């Protein structure tokens, strides 16, 4: 971690934490798959045995087939890339703005009293209400979509950062004072590491909202993107295509969330939390 003092690691003679048993390491994710796989197989069976024609709720094999077809024609990657680009750009903008504003409001009481009421009032507006305005201001193409996603991402990040800074333990800050840390050193060595766990949570919540808003943005009017696939599927009566898009949304959402989790894990190894009980 960048903020650690460079200090020796002595040979650690203490017993290393026991490695998790091999079985539990693989059993845990597998356990999570039992329910969806059972449901999918069940439905597949129901359709193949002829109990349902599977027209409105196509069986998994049909959904999978659709995904393969879309992939073969190159359509799928085009839609995925369009959506990923929108989420990426909107998420980045929302994170930057939310982090800066949240940090200012959390650190500086005057700014909080000045900014926070307005931000909270804006937060109370259902974000989709911005859509007509954004379309008028920014056009119906990419900019308005990215802006909408950024708005969705902004609020959880802003709240998360501000709340995390406000709740940093006064006693820990006092340790920094005792060692006469300057303002920047206090931020770098005490506040940043202290808010990091809450920040990671805020990022994950923000990303989740980013995925939510990209669908809304793409339903409004798009010629490509996974949201467009949804709408196209509805209008042309292709439920398999809708389900295919939903499955891909789920996979991408989970994957990007997992990326944040994995990227943050080395920075949060120190946490003594309930969630870490089986870890390490």
Partner 1 sequence: MLALKEVGKTYPNGVHALERFSAEIAPGEIIAIIGGSGCGKSTLLRAIAGLDHASTGSVTLDNAVITSPHAKIGIIFQEPRLLPWLSVADNIGFGLADLPAEARRARVVAALARVGLADKAAAWPRELSGGQAQRVAIARALVPQPEVLLLDEPFSALDAFTRRDLQDHLLDLWADTRPTLILVTHDVDEAVVLADRVLVMRPRPGRLFEEITINLARPRDRKSELFDTFKRRVLTALDRSLDRSVRDVTDKSSAGEAMWW
| Alpha carbon distance 150, 142 (integer Å) | 12
Q: Does residue 266 touch partner 1 according to CB under 8 A? A: no
Name the phi and psi angles at 18, rounded to 5: -60, 135
Regarding 118 and contact with partner 1 (CB under 8 A), the answer is no
Query: Taking contact as CB under 8 A, which single stretch among the options 75-83, 130-138, 152-160, 185-193 is the one that binds partner 1?
Result: 185-193
Residue carrying the six token digits 């982090």: 99
CB 89 within 8 Å of CB 147 = no
DSSP three-state, residue 271: coil
Q: Is residue 140 near partner 1 by the rule CB under 8 A?
A: no
10 binds partner 1 per the rule CB under 8 A: yes
| Nearest to partner 1 of 173, 260 (CB atom) | 173
Q: Which residue, 109 or 174, is less far from partner 1 as judged by CB?
A: 174
Indicate which single residue of 108, 137, 141, 179 sits in contact with partner 1 (rule: CB under 8 A). Answer: 179
Q: Which is nearer to partner 1, 96 or 181 (CB)?
A: 181
Contact 178, 120 (CB under 8 A): no
43, 189 in Cβ contact below 8 A? no
| Shortest distance, position 3 Cβ to partner 1, whole Å | 8
Q: Which of 22, 72, 180, 277 binds partner 1 (CB under 8 A)?
A: 180
Joined together, the tokens standing for residue 131 give 């859509």
280 to 18, 27, 188, 275: CA distances (angstroms)? 8, 16, 26, 11
Q: Is residue 190 at the binding interface for partner 1, with CB under 8 A as the rule? A: yes
| Residue 13 touches partner 1, criterion: CB under 8 A | yes
Q: Are 83 and 251 in contact (CB under 8 A)?
A: no
Query: Closest separation between CB of residue 266 and partner 1, Å?
Result: 12
Our finding on whether 275 is near partner 1 (CB under 8 A) is: no
Q: Which is nearest to 233 in space by CA: 244, 218, 222?
A: 244
**Would you count residue 26 as binding partner 1 (CB under 8 A)?**
no
* Shortest spacing between CB 203 and partner 1, in angstroms: 18
C-alpha radius of gyration, the chain, whole number? 23
CB count within 10 Å of CB 233 equals 19
Q: End-to-end CA distance of the chain, in Å?
A: 18
Site membership for partner 1, residue 168 (CB under 8 A)? no
Give min distance, CB of 94 to partner 1, in A: 26
72 in contact with partner 1 (CB under 8 A): no
Residue 81 CB coordination number (10 Å): 12
User: Tokens 């069986």 belong to which residue?
Assistant: 59
Is 133 a binding residue for partner 1 by CB under 8 A? The answer is no
Q: Which residues bind partner 1 (CB under 8 A)?
A: 1, 3-14, 171-172, 174-175, 177-180, 185, 189-190, 193-194, 196, 269-272
């Amino acid at each position: 971690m960048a903020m650690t003092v460079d200090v020796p690691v002595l040979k650690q003679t203490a017993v290393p934490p026991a490695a998790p048993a091999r079985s539990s390491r693989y059993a845990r994710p597998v356990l999570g798959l039992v329910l969806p796989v059972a449901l999918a197989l069940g439905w597949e069976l129901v359709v193949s045995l002829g109990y349902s024609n599977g027209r409105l709720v196509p069986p998994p094999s049909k959904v999978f087939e659709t995904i393969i077809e879309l992939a073969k024609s190159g359509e799928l990657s085009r839609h995925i890339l369009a959506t990923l680009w929108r989420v990426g750009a909107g998420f980045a903008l929302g994170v930057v703005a939310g982090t800066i504003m949240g940090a200012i409001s959390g650190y500086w009481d005057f700014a909080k009293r000045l900014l926070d009421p307005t931000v909270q009032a804006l937060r109370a507006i259902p974000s989709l209400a911005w859509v007509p305005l954004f379309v008028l201001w920014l056009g119906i193409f990419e900019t308005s979509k990215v802006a909408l996603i950024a708005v969705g991402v902004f609020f959880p990040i802003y709240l998360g950062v501000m709340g995390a800074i406000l709740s940093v333990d006064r006693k820990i800050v006092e340790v920094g004072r005792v060692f006469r840390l300057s303002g920047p050193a206090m931020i770098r060595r005490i506040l940043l590491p202290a808010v990091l766990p809450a920040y990671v949570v805020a990022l994950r919540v923000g990303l989740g909202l980013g995925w939510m808003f990209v669908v809304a943005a793409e339903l409004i009017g798009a010629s490509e993107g996974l949201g467009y696939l949804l709408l196209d599927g509805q209008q042309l009566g292709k439920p398999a295509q809708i389900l295919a898009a939903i499955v891909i949304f789920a996979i991408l959402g989970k994957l990007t969330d997992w990326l944040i989790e994995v990227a943050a894990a080395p920075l949060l190894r120190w946490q003594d939390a309930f969630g870490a009980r089986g870890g390490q």
